[in-house]
Structure 1
Amino acid sequence: MDLLYQSANDCANSYIDNESNYYLIRLQKKVSEQEYKAAYSSILEEYETNSYTKLILSVVDNDSAPLSVPFSARSWFASYFAPKFYTATNKNAVVAMVKPQTKFQNNMVNVIVGVIEKANIQVKLEYFESEEDAIDWIKNTN
C-alpha cells in the first residue's frame, strides 16, 4: 500500500493499493477541514491514473481518542466528493466502511449516508468492525 496524502499530524491519510486495486482513507483524532479535503482530493487526483472503484473509509474512533471532523468538511464529502467519485466510477463504486466506535460519530456517518442516498448515489456499501475485515472484504469484491 502506498501513501497518497498524509497530514502533518497524521490524522488524515489516504493510500492506494495497486496490488488489490483500492483506495483507503483513514481518519483519526482531530482533523481540520483542509486536511480532510486534501486526503479525499488526493484520491480524485490519483483516479485519473488508477481508476479503481473500491474505497475503504476507516474511522479510527474511540472514547479515549474521539474523531473530530468539522461539519463543513462532512458536507463537502456529501456534496462534492461522493458525487464526483460516484460519477467517475460510472456508478460502480464499492465502499467498505469501518464503523466508528462512539455514538456521536456513528450518528454522523448515518446522516452522511442518508444525504448520499437522497442524492440518488447508490453504492455497494458494507460496514465492518475493523480495518482488517474491510480490507479482506474489498480485496475479494468484484
Structure 2
Amino acid sequence: MTIRIEHPSLNELYAYWDRKRGERAAPARADIDPVDIPHLLSNIFICQVAHEPRDYIVRLFGTALVEGLGRDLTGKSYSEIFPADVVARIHRDYDEVVEKCAPVTARKDASWSDKSHLHYELLLLPLSDDGKTVNRIVGAAYRLEPA
C-alpha cells in the first residue's frame, strides 16, 4: 500500500499503525497503545463509527486539536456539531476509510469551521476489532504553515 504523507509525525503514526496491523487489513483499537506514541497524542483523535445511520462519534480529541479548533469535540458526533453540508464534506473522507478499510490522507483547510484560515494535513486510519468491519478510525491532523 502506497500512501503519500508529508508531515513527519503523520508518517510516524502511519508506520506505527502499519506495524500494529501486521498481515491484517487494520489493527484493533486494543492494539493501539498511547504509551507507544506519547509525543503524538496531542494531535490524535479517535472516532467510533456508527453504521446506521452513518456518523462518527469523537471518543478522543487531542489537546493540540482542541487548541487549534477552539473547542473539544469529545463525546459528540459530527452530525450534532456541524450543519449538514459540513457533515457531508467531513464524511466523504471518513466513509472512504470505512468502505475501503484503507488509510486516507489529505491536505485541507478548516473552512468547515469558523477557522477557515487554518490549513492542515490529515491522516485517517481504520481500526477493526473483528478484522472485517471498520468500527473506529484513528487519525491525526497537523497544521501546515503558510507558504
TM-score, shorter chain, exceeding 0.5 = no
Normalising by structure 1, report the TM-score: 0.29
Normalising by structure 2, report the TM-score: 0.28
* More strand per residue: 2
